[in-house]
Amino acid sequence: MIKLPYIKIEQLDDYIISTSMSARYLIEHVHFEYRSPYISDKSLADDTWNLEKYKKRLLNQLESENVSINSSPNSIQRRTDIKRISEIGNFINKSSGILFPTPIVLAVNLRNINTEKKSPYKLLPEEKCMEIESDAILTVIDGQHRLLGIEASNPDRWDKINLPVIIIPNADISVSTKIFIDINSNQRKVNKSTVYDLFPNIKLSGYNAIGLLSQVIHLLNERDTSPLYSRIKTLGTGVGSISQGFLIDYLTGCLGAENDPRASDNPEAFVAYYYQLLFQYFKIVKNIFPTDWQNEKSSICKTNGIGALIKLLPLLINSYGQIHDAEYSYSDFFIRVKNQHPDIWVHGNEIGTGYKAQNELFQMLQAVL
């Protein structure tokens, strides 16, 4: 039995319970399967998975980064993403402040449904606490990745983390499923460009590079001397042919900007370097392909072309050196591209979109190098 402080929150003709639980308690007590607590056959009622059993089941069935676990046709368990769990664990290990402001949502039921007990918990308003019976079973409606991510973090941190928890009293499979669907189908993912545009507001290490790259992109988009002037959708929508989110993902993934020590040690030097690099690079491309650059239908300034060009940039730096020292070599390279593939940017419109199309353009450029 455990006693917890609680707030009873009434909604229409029903209520939910808000409380707080330690990460360690949740890791040791919460179960990760929804169907078994509700089946009538008592012999199957113990088939719920505690965390250790659940982890072993995941690892045994792991064939790729994403695995799907279904113990029964009625389970509401969703696709489990091993990569995401690992990322959450790493995030916790590196963090020093608030981790999870949103609550874990749990159903609480009696393990033995044939018991004479009427409820798996008691509310004790006089004592300002609630008691959860020792034979109650807590199952995850929402938050399984967060809990598994905490378990993947350093165990020394578990006792330092308390999580907000919403308990849905006596939630059968129908109620659990409805709540799960309401939580996960009605939320709208925030555009990545909008998220990145907020990073400059965060003064924490680890956010520096993306926040500074956002500043670089704003400069490139707002200065009328820039080759990318008014071509970037800084919030992911509106005027422009490429999004800020796309550019930052490529700059961090292809150029390793996220790991550049200048982001923390010398932010001004970081902004100056990436601004000048991208300014000069795309100015050269614009000068060699002026007709394509001004043609809104050309792939050169869309995700296909820009993605291929950014992917190519580290190879050019490796071959010719930094652009400010070898501007002629960069120009000469793109002249060769134009001579060998005069319709390369028209071709870029004909091969579809996405990583595969960008990679095809990149390979054409790389072959000239």
- Distance from C-alpha of 155 to C-alpha of 27, rounded to nearest angstrom: 10
Give the pLDDT band (50/70/90) at residue 11: confident
Decide if pLDDT at 191 tops 90.
Answer: no
What is the pLDDT at residue 363? 94
pTM: 0.57
Residue 118: helix, strand or coil by DSSP?
Answer: coil
Decide if pLDDT at 146 tops 90.
Answer: no
Q: Where are the alpha helices (DSSP H) in 40-187?
A: 51-61, 82-94, 144-151, 173-185
Handedness of CA 143, 145, 149, 155 (dihedral sign): positive
Are 46 and 137 in contact by the 8 Å Cβ rule? The answer is no
Decide if pLDDT at 185 tops 70.
Answer: no
Decide if pLDDT at 180 tops 90.
Answer: no
Average pLDDT taken over every residue of the chain: 79
What is the pLDDT at residue 313? 96
What is the pLDDT at residue 59? 54
Of residues 197 and 29, more confidently modeled: 29
Q: What percent of the chain has pLDDT over 90?
A: 29
Q: What is the pLDDT of residues 313-365, one digit of tens each?
A: 999 999 999 999 999 999 999 999 999 999 999 988 888 888 888 999 999 99
What is the pLDDT at residue 52? 60
Task: Say how many C-beta atoms besides its own lie within 10 A of residue 85's C-beta.
Answer: 21
Most confident of 75-79, 209-213, 302-306: 302-306
Are 351 and 360 in contact by the 8 Å Cβ rule? The answer is yes
Q: What is the pLDDT of residues 225-255, one digit of tens each?
A: 999 999 998 876 667 788 988 999 889 888 8
- Distance from C-alpha of 263 to C-alpha of 206, rounded to nearest angstrom: 9
What is the pLDDT at residue 114? 55
Are 118 and 133 in contact by the 8 Å Cβ rule? The answer is no
